[in-house]
Structure 1
Amino acid sequence: MTMVITAISGNSVIITADKRITKSNGFGQSAVEVVSDDYKKIKIIKGKYIVSFTGRTDIAKKAFEFIDDKIDVIKNYIDPIIFFREAFKNGKTFFETNYPGIPPISVFFLGYINENKPKLYSFSSDDDYIGVEREAVIKMHSNNPEQEDLLTDETASFIGSKIAKQPLYYQFPQNLPKLYSEAIKRVDNIMIGNTTYSVLLTSSEIKEYEY
């Protein structure tokens, strides 16, 4: 599972995610094993799109395979959202086929620039990835769903208080990845890592940050 913080800032889209991958050998926190703290959960596609996820890693891996195999046909779609929705559904179908009875929990985030305007969408397995346009999202999945809303609210408050103290500084999007990384590292949960990867997308460039 993971934590993702993403937002539109000025003419940019920013996504930050922790880099931890875990596996479960049963129930409860003691059954969770850390597999890696160096897995980049944000994918850069053709220098034009950025996609991240929370939830089942196997769903994301299969969705990313679909994207890699078929990205050249995205030009045939009136709306790129339709293409990415198909990719996410493909990942979910694969997971349901191979892991019957296990909830296919996943949320994807898509950022891109359209006519020099930043666009950000979230897609949830709960509604079969319809897609909702956003300005900012903090999303996490953990081994304790009851705490997720509380931790998400605390993270939003932390970010808001930091920005309120230095509003001019954080008007510059390149200063946000480090703040988002700090916010993620504050979360005390075995399924949320303390290493992060961020991507900042504008109409002219993509920048990557690791903390």
Structure 2
Amino acid sequence: MTMLIAVKFDNSIIMTADKRVTTTNGFDRILKVESDEYKKIKIINKKYVISFAGRIFIAEKAFDFIDQKSDILNSNIDPLLFFREAFNYGKSCFEAYHSGITPLSVFFVGYIKPDEGPQLLGFSSDDNYTGLEIDSSIKINSNSPDHEDMLISETVNFITKEMSNRHAYYHSNEKLLEIYAQAIKRTNDPMIGKTTYSVVLTSTGAEEYHH
């Protein structure tokens, strides 16, 4: 399970995620914490940033697909169609290897569109990654919707309160990353780690941050 925050802010795309990877029994019961240093956000061609929550196997297969065909993104191809195909490829690989386990996963894709500014798309395995334009999202993939909703609600309340109390402080991308990292690290769930990784994408490129 992952906590992932993705937003459009001013002329930027901001994504933050925890870095924990766990081995489970396939149904969200932890067998082992494998790492707290796994990056769940990927930069493509210095122009696109992709983050994910859910089954890592799906994401890694999708990223293999993207890496092999990333030159296509330099053409006039519709990014939504390209990434939808990549994510469905990852899902089909997972289903072939892990029959009977739900292929839960979501992806966020951000990029800067000339003359239109930042674009943020959300994709979910629930609808075969149809893809929707969004302004912001906090996502946790879990087999327990009630638990997921509770954690997201707590996180939204924390961020809202912090920004309301210190509005002038959170005026830049770097300051927003601080509160997003705090929001993730305060989450009381053993599958969500206490280390975070963030990427800020602007028209000049992508910058990485570790907390």
TM-score scaled to structure 1, two decimals? Answer: 0.94
Report the number of matched residues. Answer: 210
- How far apart are 1:169 and its partner, in Å? 2.3
Separation in structure 2 between the aligned mates of residue 57 and residue 39 of structure 1, nearest angstrom: 10
1:160-189 deviations in Å (ceiling 9; x for gaps) = 111112222223122111110100001111
Listed as ranges, the matches of 1:12-27 within 5 Å are 12-25=12-25
> In the alignment, does 2:85 pair up with 1:89?
no
User: What is the percentage of aligned positions where both structures have the same residue?
Assistant: 51
Rounded Cα–Cα distance in structure 1 between residues aligned with 2:41 and 2:3: 12
Alignment-derived partner of residue 158 in structure 1: 158
- Map 1:12-161 → 2, pairs under 5 A: 12-25=12-25, 29=29, 31-116=30-115, 117-142=117-142, 144-161=144-161
Provide the secondary structure at the position in 2 that maps to 1:171. Answer: coil
Q: Over aligned residues, Cα RMSD in angstroms?
A: 1.5
Secondary structure of the structure 2 residue equivalent to 1:110 = strand
Q: Distance in 2 between matches of 1:98 and 1:77?
A: 34
Ranges in structure 1 where 5+ consecutive residues have no aligned partner: none
CA change 1:89–1:183 in 2 (3 A) is: same
* Structure 2: runs of 5+ lacking an equivalent: none
| Correspondence 1:200 to 2:200 | yes
2:11 aligned residue: 11
- How far apart are 1:25 and its partner, in Å? 3.7
After superposition, the Cα gap between the structure-2 partners of 1:55 and 1:209, relative to the gap in structure 1 and judged at 3 Å, is same
Deviations 1:42-79 (A, max 9, x none): 00001000001001000000000000000102244531
Which residue of the partner structure matches residue 182 of structure 2? 182
Distance 2:71 2:26 in 1: 41
Deviation of 1:141 after TM superposition, in Å, equals 2.1
Name the aligned partner's letter for residue 162 of structure 2: K
Letter in 2 for 1:112: Y
* 2: CA distance, partners of 1:32 / 1:144: 18
> What TM-score do the two structures reach when normalised by structure 2?
0.94
Distance (whole Å) between structure 2 residues aligned to residue 17 and residue 47 of structure 1: 19
Q: 1:102 & 1:13 partners in 2: Cα distance?
A: 32
Matched residue of 2:110: which SS? strand
